[in-house]
Amino acid sequence: MRVTLCMSWAALALVAFVNVGFVNRAAAEAAPDNLNETQRHGRQLLAQSCGVCHLPAALNARTYGPPLNKNAGGGDDDIMRQYITDGTPRMPAFKHYLKPNEIDDIIAYVRTVPVPANPPAR
């Protein structure tokens, strides 16, 4: 009887934990962000494909590339498109991984990211 009761409580706690996580995730996804669908898609692609090098690092790990904001590529979409498509000496090319419209979506999102007041120390 005790084992069954403990297992029941453990199962209930697990269900509650999963539901709270789901509710918090759903609330975060539903939060207004003033982005259109293209920009949201670009944000998702940036996190998946570029985040390891360009997004703020966790646990004081160093990032490889500069943080991206609306001034990336000097604010020129064509330059940014070329960097992403063909790469640079320090960045791989994504022309075989990302479709042209996906690259455009990333650029659309990056153009919404404000320039930080104080650039982060490297």
The answer to whether residues 115 and 83 belong to one domain is yes
Q: DSSP characters for 51-81?
A: HHHHSPPSTTPPPSSPPP-TTGGGG-HHHHH
What's the pLDDT score for residue 99?
97
Residues 8 and 57 in one domain: no
Q: What percent of the chain has pLDDT over 70?
A: 66
- Whether 24 and 83 share a structural domain: no
Q: pLDDT per residue over 3-58, tens digit each?
A: 443 444 444 343 444 443 433 344 344 445 899 999 999 999 999 999 888 887 66
Total of domains in the chain: 2
Q: Which two tokens stand for residue 110?
A: 């990056």
Q: Indicate whether 40 and 90 sit together in one domain.
A: yes
Token readout for 101 is 């419209």
* One domain for residues 73 and 109: yes
- The verdict on 107 and 60 lying in the same domain is yes
Q: What domain range includes position 59?
A: 35-122
The model's pTM is: 0.68
Please report how the helices 37-45 and 100-110 are oriented relative to each other, as an axis angle in degrees rounded to 10.
100
Instruction: Judge if 74 and 19 occupy the same domain.
Output: no
Burial class (CB in 10 A: 0-12, 13-18, 19+), 53: middle
Return d(Cα 56, Cα 67) in angstroms, integer: 7
